[in-house]
Amino acid sequence: MRVLFVVALLAVATGLGGCASFGSSAVSPAPPPGPATASAPTPQVTDAVDALGLVAYATSMQGKPYLSGGESPRRGFDCSGLVHHVFGQFNFEIPRNTAAMAQRLPSVDLADLRAADLVFFDTQGPRYSHVGIYLGDGRFVHAPSPRTGRVIISSMADQYWNQHLSGARRPSP
């Protein structure tokens, strides 16, 4: 997980975090087993999800404004609008609202979280009232509230988020 997060941050820092840089490219299958090469190990991406690209793009949304009902980088995002927008850039069809995402997407054990999974929180009473994109290394990107006013990266170890964590889901294309 830590490798994916570090590589994603490097991609954003070097300017690869823009929409046009990632598009909806498919993940190439791993090469067949053969003699060892001198190249660096490739982060594992499973279920045909470009987790590295998705996480890098999601991270690039940090600082975009919060807007209730918003779903665009230019105008702003609410939590489900951010998730819907990011996954839409990678040709995922997921529901627009948080509760529907939680209801329709397959559940993931919190011990098995991977980069690009969705994490859900109970922040307003309903069990699934807030959603973010898991980045790896215990961190997630989300658009928390008008009070915060922008998309941020938070730690799941933070007391508030840890106490309100209610589940995780794994979208697939």
Longest dimension (CA), the chain: 55
Domain count, the chain: 1
Following DSSP, what letter does each residue of 55-121 receive, concatenated? HHHHHHTTTPBB-TT-EETTTEE-HHHHHHHHHHTTT----SSHHHHHHHSPB--GGG--TT-EEEE
Residue 62 maps to a domain: yes
Q: Which of 19, 84, 85, 130 is catalytic?
A: 130
Half-sphere exposure of 24 (CA within 13 A, CB side): 10
What's the pLDDT at 131?
98
Q: Is 60 helix (H, G, I), strand (E, B) or coil?
A: helix
Residue 41 maps to a domain: no
Residue 142 maps to a domain: yes
Mean pLDDT value of segment 151-167: 97
Residue 132 maps to a domain: yes
79 is catalytic: yes
CATH number of the domain at 13, please: 3.90.1720.10
Q: Please give the DSSP secondary-structure letter assigned to residue 63.
A: T
Closest of 58, 63, 78 to residue 17, by C-alpha: 58
Angle at 94 between CA 61 and CA 117, to 5 degrees: 60
What's the pLDDT at 48?
53
What's the pLDDT at 51?
94
18 pLDDT more than 70: no
Among the residue ranges 27-31, 62-66, 169-173, the one predicted with the least confidence is: 27-31
Residues in CB range of 166: below 8 A, 6 or more apart: 120, 121, 122, 127, 128
Residue 56 maps to a domain: yes
Residue 139 maps to a domain: yes
Tell me the pTM.
0.73
164 is catalytic: no
Domain coverage including residue 86:
2-24+46-169
Residue 70 maps to a domain: yes
142 is catalytic: yes
Q: Which of 19, 84, 142, 164 is catalytic?
A: 142
Q: Report whether 141 contacts 83 (CB < 8 A).
A: no
What residues are paired with 133 via a beta bridge? 118, 141
Residue 34 maps to a domain: no
41 or 130, greater pLDDT: 130
pLDDT, tens digit, 9 for 90 and up, residues 41-83: 333 334 456 899 999 999 999 999 999 999 999 999 999 999 9
